[in-house]
Amino acid sequence: MQAIRQPFASQNNAGNRMWTKELKIDGMTCPSCAGGIEKKLNALKGVDIKVSYSEGIGNLTVKGQTSLKYLINQIEGKGYNVMEFNRELVVTDNKREATAQNGQQLHVAIIGSGSGAFACALGAVENGAKVTLIERNPIIGGTCVNIGCVPSKIMIRAAHIAHLQKDHAFVGIKKQKPVIDRKKMLIQQQARVEELRAAKYESILETNPYITLVKGDARFKDAQTLIVDQEHGDFTEITADRFLVATGASPRIPPIPGLAGTPYWTSTEALEAEKLPDHLIVIGSSIVALELAQAFLRLGSKVTLLARSSLLFREDPDIGAELHKILETEGMTILTHTQAEAVTYKKGLFSSGKFTIKTTKGQSLRGDHLLIATGRPPNTQGLALDQVGVEISKNGAILIDDHMRTNVEHIYAAGDCTNQPQFVYVAAAAGTRAAINMTGGDAAIDLSTMPAVMFTEPQMATVGLTEAEAHYNNIETDSRLLPLENVPRSLANFETRGFIKLVMEEGSRRLIGAQILAPEAGEMIQTAVLAIHHRMTIEELAGQLFPYLAMVEGIKLCAQTFSKDVKELSCCAG
């Protein structure tokens, strides 16, 4: 099947026809800006635009299938802001469907129902296609809303409130041990999960006639057909023009002798537990392990964590080392460079039973619950990808390019089942771009300034390159690490645990990386994201106006340390 090269029209601008629009274009600084827009768009087949710099208006005429959304993206890609000045002025044909080569409405089949899948479904429908979603689980919505991001952040927030009751820095406010009713917490948590699932997923299916949901387990029969195995041995076949695989990932269960058959927890069971364990043993040292370990610790459980290496060993080593100290100060036992050698479980007659973990260092640990958080491999087994020749990595991840294309031209993939980073916002962005590309557009995903956040306290947030990554790529660097004791808001909060670290490229002095360990790091990091994206130098970043007594001011202060001693500056020094 040949790729469709021209972007398909959206539902408002579909089919073979002529239509016009008047656009309001803000941000032009000289007449040559108008000429640049005209040159870019008029080079496209069937597109004619005349731009008035003085009026800030573009008169657009399109003959054919190019979508308004695509053209606006082309203009905004040059740095301007575009708004539809009025509704469509002329329509010569009101056909609303994107079509395949056989002349029928384009059909997109999507395996999965999480954020990447739904982003693709909505984008494909917007561009004129019809969509079939296939989901094997009883409920839709994927990991994030059901068993991942949403319930975990609710639990983490509750644990933070409990922690503040018993441990804060303000004299005159009595500290007290919180009374925890885990069952009530869980009811509230799951009610919010159900509310968001209904609003963001179920209601979309109910109200969008162009998206059909099919329940069952999908696998490829051939390059154009899926077999969906359903209940009671039934099955159905789905033929489509384009396919998106968005099947997510599942917890990795390590082959520890004795583990199989025991009632261990993954993150799913931990988040749904009605009772807090007296002693929770956690195997893992990355984001999920650390977030949940600290949450249970703050809710009153004793927590022992086993790390195969050091904490967050893939991140800048300063982060793991500092967080290790903080968590131990809160009461967590952390055993680094330690693995579980064997697991035994003895069921109690009147209790939930006990786990015993023998470690590679000869320790014998006993706890009433065991949490396995050692990564999430992709859900690609059983899809029969080999049947159609889709390439995967050694760990089963689908290999895709920056347009979400596999090596099979009409099969795309997005989210945790691919070789892209496992973050829900990456999955959603990938799904949106896949929809554009499979309906004839051209949209790439740029992960060079992708922020990553971990919601421990303090939070970890990073973007760009660490010093080690830069040196590996033969980039000479300079960096500064600013402890939070130098940030006025941290002093006002009496909370100075953590730091801000900035990495710049020698020569150009451009910011190329940021690593933050701070109470509001997740809110701060986007400033560094935008600075890197816009290729700002350290001096340009240091010269910006930042609000005083906001945590994000710490980024400015850290940038200033490349040329000044911030300890010698007055408050909110410019």
End-to-end CA distance of the chain: 60
Q: List the structure tokens of 251.
A: 């917890």
Q: List the structure tokens of 336.
A: 């680094």
Structural contact between residues 431 and 115, judged by C-beta atoms closer than 8 angstroms = yes
Give the residue numbers annotated as catalytic, written as ranges: 28, 30, 33, 80, 144, 149, 571-572
Q: Please state whether the peptide bond connecting residue 151 to the residue before it is cis, i.e. omega within 30 degrees of 0.
A: no
Nearest to 142 by CA among 125, 158, 120: 120
Distance of CA 298 to the CA centre of its chain: 26
SS3 state of residue 343: strand
Structural contact between residues 383 and 296, judged by C-beta atoms closer than 8 angstroms = no
Distance of alpha carbon 479 from alpha carbon 475, whole angstroms: 12
Distance of alpha carbon 316 from alpha carbon 480, whole angstroms: 13
Q: What is the dihedral of CA 26, 32, 37, 38, to 10 degrees?
A: 130
Distance of alpha carbon 275 from alpha carbon 369, whole angstroms: 11
Nearest to 290 by CA among 255, 324, 316: 324
Q: List the structure tokens of 554.
A: 């710490």
Nearest to 411 by CA among 222, 227, 248, 134: 222
